Amino acid sequence: WINENEKARNIVRRSFEVGAIIKSKVVKGKEEEGKKYRDYFDSSEPLKKCPSHRLLAIKRGENEGFLKVSVSPDDKDIIEKLERIFIKGYTASSEEVSIAIKDSYKRLLHPSIETEFAKLSKEKADDEAIKVFTENLRQLLLAPPLGQKRVMAIDPGYRSGCKIVCLNEQGNLLHNETIYPHKPQEERKMAAKKISSMASSYKIEAIAIGNGTASRETEYFIKKLRFDRELRVYIVNEDGASVYSASSVAREEFPQYDVTVRGAVSIGRRLTDPLAELVKIDPKSIGVGQYQHDVDQKKLKTSLDTVVELSVNKVGVNLNTASKHLLTYVSGLGPQLAQNIVSFRKDNGAFSSRKELMNVPRMGAKAFEQAAGFLRIPDAENPLDNSAVHPESYTLVKTIANDLNCSVRELIDNDEILDKLDLQKYITSNVGLPTLTDIKKELAKPGRDPRQIIKVFEFAAGIFKIEDLQVGMELPGIVNNITKFGAFVDIGIKQSGLIHVSQLADRFISDPNEIVKLHQHVKVKVVEIDIARNRIQLSLKQVKQD
């Protein structure tokens, strides 16, 4: 009856809420096998102060059998509070009631509330980790694209060689080759000859190099070569490329090629249009999460799908070139309609207007209404078809153009005419000022890509491995992951360095996103190197940014 008493349960619950301590200890005999959890071999801290990343790490260690974890407040204090409820004055039965209270608390109440709090704290940690992951994914999806260029993409390697592919402006594969410029083969002259020949034959405009094994050596080798035109070299994050290359999506796109060719193609496309390529890859494989495999997977998938859809719709999609994977995320479409659009395009040729979408099988008025504003047709007869202006507003835009004595085409991208536009004149019960403001903004810059312009980046010369680092060095780097506890930075070696949240600025920072963004180019100082654990601590403090 003590365990079922609501007042008693609330007292225990409140004690857990205010004073629960989470303790973790290493399982005896698992010290060596579980050494990656050594920070938690004998740890103790208030549960309410335990950050999400630490809680998820401890829970993972427990699930893998390396840690014993307990969550408990001050048992003595709770028992005293319970006794004050159930023992009113000293009687002959008081001793027995006291024993019953202690037994009920130890056997029933404590385990029950501990389970409840472990679940609640895990849910809270999940929510924080999912929030971090979705923000990172959003930034990654909206990374600057190079645009429609002819690209040579290189998936670097040592013994197995560097796989090279040449892609046209649409990202279609023109040629693939393998070169062996590094040890053990060191066929440098042959490799240089092949690269120069391919760059010339396929009119290559940029080179993308994956940031994995042998990336720096390959970059150094490529930059030493002389080409018949200026070629910019970009280092591309290849996280997820290997997952894509073995996926059903890649097999469908390139059934006759092996995983190495597919992986190199993915690297090249990641440069020209990160969004279009990343939608084909499971976000959990992209490497920008925080314990993403430990959180509620259903909740994570819902959040990630939402951020992908929002990102795709923010950028807009070329109706005549978009893959079915990209079209799937357009509001109102989904996998089946996306496939129907691609099939219709294949059978009937390119779309010349948005209204032709209504000829696509199973395209209803509702789906069209939701999707049309996010689909672009660059060479459409009606210039509004290449803008974010929805077809339901076309008549309004035509009226505005007539009132200003010009055509719709003359109205677009013409500040002189648009400055004369008095939006107040066009407010109706169906169209408010916010909608009109959005239309005017879109007419000024129709179909404008909201993503930033890509920049070339160079790592520090002579730094290829952790042993090349020295404390105090200042190095250029690229932010490649953001967590609640700090930001990881690629400094051109295998291991990313960590800027702890306390090293991001001279003031208190609660969220690393206040200071850095994914893919941001930064200059960092090396403050600590632990070669045995492959850990590098970095700082932004008192480092002058370029």
pLDDT, one tens digit per residue, over 450-500 is: 999 999 999 998 899 999 999 999 999 999 999 999 999 999 999 999 999
CA distances from 415 to 88, 158, 379, 388, 419 (A): 83, 55, 22, 18, 6
- Helices 110-141 and 6-19, packing angle to 10 deg: 50
pTM for the whole thing?
Answer: 0.86
Q: Is residue 353 part of a domain?
A: no
Contact (CB, 8 A) for 280 and 265: no
In order of 162, 172, 267, 278, 411, the CA distances from 273 in angstroms are 22, 13, 10, 9, 30
Rounded to the nearest 5°, which phi and psi values hold at 252? Answer: -70, -40
Residue 35 forms part of a structural domain = yes
Which of 383, 456, 394, 472 has its CA nearest to residue 206? 456
Residues 486 and 503: beta-carbon distance below 8 Å:
yes
> Are the C-beta atoms of residues 75 and 101 closer than 8 Å to each other?
no
Q: Where are the alpha helices (DSSP H) in 154-282?
A: 188-201, 215-223, 241-245, 248-253, 259-272, 274-278
Same domain assignment for residues 76 and 127:
yes
Start-to-end CA span in the chain (Å): 69
CATH number reported for the structural domain that contains residue 520 in this entry? 2.40.50.140
Domain residues for the domain of 45 are 6-140
Q: Looking at the structure, tell me whether residues 103 and 199 fall in a common domain.
A: no
User: Which residue, chain included where needed, has tokens 């053990």?
Assistant: 184
State the CATH number of the domain containing residue 242.
3.30.420.140
Query: What's residue 88's pLDDT?
Result: 81
Same domain for 156 and 130? no
DSSP 293-346: GGS-HHHHHHHHHHHHHHHHHHH-EETTT--HHHHHTSTT--HHHHHHHHHHHH
359 — phi, psi (to 5°)?
-85, -10
Verify that 208 and 230 share a domain, yes or no.
Answer: yes
The residue among 272, 303, 327 that closes a domain is 272
Q: How many domains would you assign to the chain? A: 3
121 and 52 in a single domain? The answer is: yes
Kindly state whether residue 257 falls inside one of the protein's structural domains.
Answer: yes
Instruction: Give the pLDDT of residue 276.
Output: 96
* Same structural domain, 92 and 12: yes
Residue 206 sits in the same domain as residue 127 = no
What is the distance between the alpha carbons of residues 56 and 307, in angstroms, rounded to a whole number?
Answer: 23
Q: Same structural domain for residues 128 and 168? A: no
How much is the pLDDT for 220? 94
Does a structural domain hold residue 472? Answer: yes
Helix 75-86 crosses helix 6-19 at what angle (to 10 degrees)? Answer: 160
What is the CATH number for 120? 1.10.3500.10
Domain assignment present for residue 230? The answer is: yes
Identify the pLDDT of residue 285: 83
- CA–CA distance, 540 with 499 (Å, rounded to integer): 7
List residues bridging with 44 in a β-sheet: 23
194 & 136 share domain: no
Task: Report the pLDDT value the prediction gives residue 239, as an integer from 0 to 100.
Answer: 87
Residue 290 is predicted with a pLDDT of: 72
Asked if 177 and 122 sit in the same domain, the reply is no
Q: What pLDDT score does 284 carry?
A: 82
- Residue 435 covered by a domain: no
Contact 533, 524 (CB under 8 A): no
Angle between helix axes 110-141 and 52-63 (nearest 10 degrees) is 120
Q: Which two tokens stand for residue 438?
A: 């959005």
Q: Low-confidence residues of the chain, pLDDT below 70?
A: none
Q: Do 472 and 530 fall within a single domain?
A: yes
In a domain, residue 380? The reply is no
Q: Within a domain: residue 416?
A: no
Domain termination site, one of 117, 140, 163: 140
Distance CA 291, CA 281 (A): 18
Residues 167, 100 share a domain: no
Among the candidates 272, 296, 328, a domain finishes at 272
Cα separation, 360 vs 186, in Å, equals: 54
